[in-house]
Amino acid sequence: MAGEHTLLSTEIVNRGVEASGPDAGSPTFSVRVRRRLPDFLQSVNLKYVKLGYHYLISHGIYLATIPVLVVVFGAEVGSLSREELWRKVWEETSYDLATVLAFFGVLVFTVSVYFMSRPRPIYLVDFACYRPSDDLKVSREEFIELARKSGKFDEESLAFQSRLLKSSGVGDETYVPKSIFTTGNCATMKEGRAEASMVMFGALDELFEKCRVRPKDVGILVVNCSLFNPTPSLSAMIVNHYKMRGNILSYNLGGMGCSAGIISLDLARDMLQASPNNYAVVVSTEAVSFTWYTGRNRSMLIPNCFFRMGCSAVLLSNRRRDFRRAKYRLEHIVRTHKGADTRSFRCVYQEEDEQRIKGLSISRDLMEVGGHALKTNITTLGPLVLPFSEQLLFFAALLFRRRSSSSSSDSKPYIPDYKLAFEHFCMHAASKAVLDELQRNLELSDRHMEASRAVLHRFGNTSSSSIWYELAYLEAKGRVRRGDRVWQLAFGSGFKCNSAVWRAMRRVRPPSRSPWLGCADRYPVGL
């Protein structure tokens, strides 16, 4: 149990005035002990020689086998003169027409089966992120003042939200719908449809213009929005607005949290594998007016301080002719679901409070639950993306720990260095505390976390679309080059942790249309 105390955090809870018993009339307190995000990525062995091992072992197989093959082949051929070599190849070998035809037939059949059995490559042609109008922009002070004027909160709730905003990492230029500060109920179907139409159609208009694709050319449409699910669905709203074709394959995902964007990608990929020469559009958004909570439960007030307006629209293609104009190719998607565990299932939970006011409850166990989901996800992702050197070191360390009698108390597991697998990281911008823990446990630099912190500061937590605002930030900075690998990581209720890996098909120059136009140069700042 050495070092176990570093995983614990303490909290003093005021339980109020004792109503009965020997301590009646006296204030009572309790100390609550909780676990932080598990420090499972801290390596103590071979920490400073991992990079050297990477280059040595990754190329060791080639350095060991290729010279042997060259020496053996050279010795065999070198012992023959040119005339002897010619005679062995052409004169001493008998060929007949049937053998030649059979050989080429088997070769053509094998090559054909290989290419036909391979899954179709999925290309990301382009994507768009919606930037609301400036009249919806609010600073943190304006946010609290408008909340106070709405008359929906008492002073204690306003003070709690004010304190939380100061340490949230959210800046003074995020966007919220005006309806949430009105005196009436903002979570109406009319307000929800108006907000969803604004952000979805804004992102899709930009996407179709950038890609020069007509809405009728799209054969697959996947929309995700966790809390707002009207009838007809959001996907039906898009089909109706753009007058899409009647045989479009349309899907609407709800209640899947902030990681639903990658789940939608997975669904679109599967549908594209079954539909050759097709386009798929994935729309990711959240209705802020339906995350808005006006009660006094502090765990339900947390989403008010983080969730902001946003939407992304992504165009995917399996057409081979889109190879030249596509920005990225989808490499891997890895999904982890911890819903079988009750504590994980309830850590992000929509319910009513004591006054029957609906809200999204955030459990204090979120950090620990998210840590275990992340551990499972990256352990699954590792063999798909890590260089051979890191996998070998991890396997050797695992064997050593199993054979060592003291491993349970003194040594820590060797976890591979994921910085060797990716050039860019797009971590879901949930909150500053979550990003701090991710950076510490994954041992990432400030530059690796820059995109996530910039999105949280400039746009807030835009739910499932936040990873696309982060990729847009990297493009606006001109950092994505041909061959670069991008890791998108998102967490969501359920509890889920999902990863998507992209490879850049070409150097991506700063786009002419981007949510970061006019503000990307201000970052990074002291986030």
- pLDDT tens-digit profile of 64-85? 666 766 776 666 666 666 666 6
Instruction: Please give the Cα distance from 442 to 424 (Å, whole number).
Output: 13
Task: Note the pLDDT tens digit of each residue in 273-326.
Answer: 999 999 999 999 999 999 899 989 999 999 999 999 999 999 999 998 999 999
What share of the chain in percent tops pLDDT 70?
Answer: 77
Which residue do the tokens 């071979």 mark? 46
Determine the pLDDT at residue 440: 87
Residue 47 has pLDDT above 70, yes or no: no
DSSP 307: B
Three-state SS sequence of 249-269: EEEEECCCHHHHHHHHHHHHH
User: What single string gives the DSSP state of each residue in 264-306?
Assistant: HHHHHHHHHHHSSS-EEEEEEE--HHHH---SS-HHHHHHHHH
For the chain, give the number of residues.
527
- Could you tell me the pLDDT band of residue 494, with boundaries at 50, 70 and 90? confident
Contact 523, 458 (CB under 8 A): yes
Q: What is the mean pLDDT of the chain?
A: 83
How many CA atoms lie less than 13 Å away from 147 in the CB half-sphere? 26
Determine the pLDDT at residue 332: 93
> Which two tokens mark 492?
């969501």
Instruction: Please give the Cα distance from 358 to 352 (Å, whole number).
Output: 4
Three-state SS sequence of 188-252: CHHHHHHHHHHHHHHHHHHHHHHHCCCHHHCCEEEEECCCCCCCCCHHHHHHHHHCCCCCCEEEE
Amino acid identity for residue 507 in this structure: R
Instruction: Please give the Cα distance from 272 to 129 (Å, whole number).
Output: 23
In the predicted model, what is the mean pLDDT of residues 446-467? Answer: 95
- Could you tell me the pLDDT band of residue 1, with boundaries at 50, 70 and 90? very low
- Could you tell me the pLDDT band of residue 441, with boundaries at 50, 70 and 90? confident
Residue 88 has pLDDT above 90, yes or no: no
Where would I find the beta strands (DSSP E) of 297-347? Answer: 311-317, 328-337
Other beta carbons less than 10 A from residue 339's beta carbon:
11
Q: What's the gap between Cα 20 and its chain centre?
A: 51
Determine the pLDDT at residue 97: 66
> Which two tokens mark 189?
């179907």
Active site residues: 258, 337, 424, 428, 457, 461
Q: 423: closest CA among 305, 519, 328, 344?
A: 328
Phi/psi of residue 210, each to 5°?
A: -65, -40
pTM, rounded to two decimals: 0.81
Residue 248 has pLDDT above 90, yes or no: yes
Alpha carbon of 37 to those of 8, 112, 368, 460: distances in Å? Answer: 9, 49, 5, 22
Instruction: Please give the Cα distance from 350 to 348 (Å, whole number).
Output: 7
Instruction: Please give the Cα distance from 124 to 206 (Å, whole number).
Output: 15
Of 23-32, 395-404, 462-471, give the range with the top mean pLDDT: 462-471
Determine the pLDDT at residue 404: 64
Residue 407 has pLDDT above 60, yes or no: no
Amino acid identity for residue 520 in this structure: A
In the predicted model, what is the mean pLDDT of residues 178-202? Answer: 90
Instruction: Please give the Cα distance from 10 to 23 (Å, whole number).
Output: 24
Q: 47: closest CA among 419, 340, 385?
A: 419
Q: What's the gap between Cα 418 and its chain centre?
A: 15
Residue 133 has pLDDT above 70, yes or no: yes
- For β-strands 496-504 and 328-337, DSSP reports them as antiparallel
Alpha carbon of 478 to those of 81, 468, 469, 473, 474: distances in Å? Answer: 57, 15, 14, 9, 6
Contact 361, 349 (CB under 8 A): yes
